[in-house]
């Protein structure tokens, strides 16, 4: 596949590299050879922070200059400046109540040789543990006939995440660890639920590898999950906070009437 010049994407990558360089982030990628040099693929990623998409774009660009298109909430595209960048970078808006058109667009892009980035958890995990997966990543790969690339990213939550104000000082010099797994083949004959469970188990192993290789001790730290000695919310506490937030959002329109 021959890639056309995309000045907006190139500019965004340049801005991201400048920002990450200014923060003196320490990036390590294990298994980069599994990032495909050509052809379509679904890249399934863990989701603990809001800048992980940019960190993965950065790593992929440095590895082989390929571009990745992310599936993101439609609301992001409705923001004036950010939305313009998202559209020009050919990311795919997802209407959480009617996602068929986004799914079809992603399949078309995959068949044309694009890389599609997916967060199977469909939201940031405030407990910094992997939550239950949606089946979308598996179904996309199966329908488009492309490999599924599992990727665990650790440390990105230290830059920007849910329910936490992070100082510039905390961000500077943060280690970022990525572990890329071997491509997974799924077909239309596979049970999507079972294949998704296998994907989740694979990504949990990759995450454990990333955490073990992380150069800092997270004991007592807010960015470390509770079961590893940190002070992050437990999965149950995080789920309760998410449910309460959704309830407040649902009530807000009625209260404004």
At 147-200, the pLDDT tens digits run 999 999 999 999 999 999 999 999 999 999 999 999 999 999 999 999 999 999
Angle between helices 136-144 and 100-111 (to 10 degrees): 40
Let me know if residue 169 belongs to a domain. yes
Let me know if residue 240 belongs to a domain. no
Let me know if residue 205 belongs to a domain. yes
Q: What is the CATH number of the domain that holds 92?
A: 3.40.1130.10
pLDDT at residue 257 is higher than 70: no
Distance separating alpha carbons of residues 44 and 91, to the nearest angstrom: 15
pLDDT at 72: 79
- % of the chain with per-residue pLDDT over 90: 73
Range of the domain at 138: 7-217
pLDDT at residue 2 is higher than 80: no
pLDDT at residue 146 is higher than 90: yes
Average pLDDT over residues 95-113: 87
CA dihedral 35, 99, 207, 154 (to 10 degrees): 80
* Residue matched to tokens 């890329």: 180
Average pLDDT over residues 123-135: 95
pLDDT at residue 44 is higher than 60: yes
What Å distances lie between residue 229 and 166, 171, 173, 211, 233, CA to CA? 20, 21, 22, 12, 11
Confidence (pTM): 0.90
pLDDT at 85: 77
176, 137 contact by CB (below 8 A): no
31, 209 contact by CB (below 8 A): no
Confidence category of residue 81, pLDDT binned at 50, 70, 90: confident
Let me know if residue 160 belongs to a domain. yes
Let me know if residue 242 belongs to a domain. no
**Overall domain count for the chain:** 1
Structure tokens at 170: 């905390």
The three-state secondary structure class of 118 is strand
Q: How far is CA 56 from the centre of its chain?
A: 8
Distance separating alpha carbons of residues 117 and 75, to the nearest angstrom: 18
Indicate the length of the chain as a whole number. Answer: 257
pLDDT at residue 256 is higher than 80: no
Within the chain, residue ranges assigned H as helices are 7-22, 52-64, 74-77, 80-88, 100-111, 136-144, 168-171, 192-213, 235-256
pLDDT at residue 1 is higher than 60: no
Average pLDDT over residues 83-93: 83
**Which stretch of DSSP H or E encloses residue 72?**
strand 68-73
Let me know if residue 1 belongs to a domain. no
Let me know if residue 78 belongs to a domain. yes
Confidence category of residue 217, pLDDT binned at 50, 70, 90: very high
Let me know if residue 36 belongs to a domain. yes
């Amino acid at each position: 596949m021959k890639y056309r010049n995309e000045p907006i994407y190139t500019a965004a990558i340049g801005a991201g590299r400048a920002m990450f360089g200014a923060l003196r982030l320490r990036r390590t990628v294990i298994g980069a050879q599994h990032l495909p040099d050509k052809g379509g693929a679904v890249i399934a990623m863990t989701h603990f922070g809001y800048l992980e998409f940019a960190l993965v774009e950065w790593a992929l660009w440095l590895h082989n200059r390929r571009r990745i298109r992310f599936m993101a909430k439609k609301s992001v595209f409705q923001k004036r400046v950010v939305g313009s960048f998202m559209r020009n970078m050919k990311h795919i808006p997802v209407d959480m109540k009617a996602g068929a058109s986004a799914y079809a667009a992603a399949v078309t892009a995959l068949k044309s040789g694009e890389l599609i980035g997916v967060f199977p958890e469909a939201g940031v995990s405030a407990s910094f543990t992997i939550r239950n997966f949606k089946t979308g990543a598996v179904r996309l790969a199966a329908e488009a006939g492309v490999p599924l690339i599992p990727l665990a990213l650790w440390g990105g939550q230290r830059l920007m995440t849910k329910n936490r104000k992070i100082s510039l000082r905390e961000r500077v010099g943060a280690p970022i660890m990525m572990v890329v797994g071997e491509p997974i083949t799924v077909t239309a004959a596979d049970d999507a639920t079972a294949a998704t469970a296998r994907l989740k188990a694979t990504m949990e192993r990759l995450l454990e590898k990333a955490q073990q290789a992380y150069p800092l001790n997270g004991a007592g730290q807010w960015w470390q999950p509770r079961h590893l000695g940190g002070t992050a919310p437990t999965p149950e506490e995080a789920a309760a906070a998410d449910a309460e937030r959704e309830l407040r959002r649902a009530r807000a329109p009625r209260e404004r009437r």
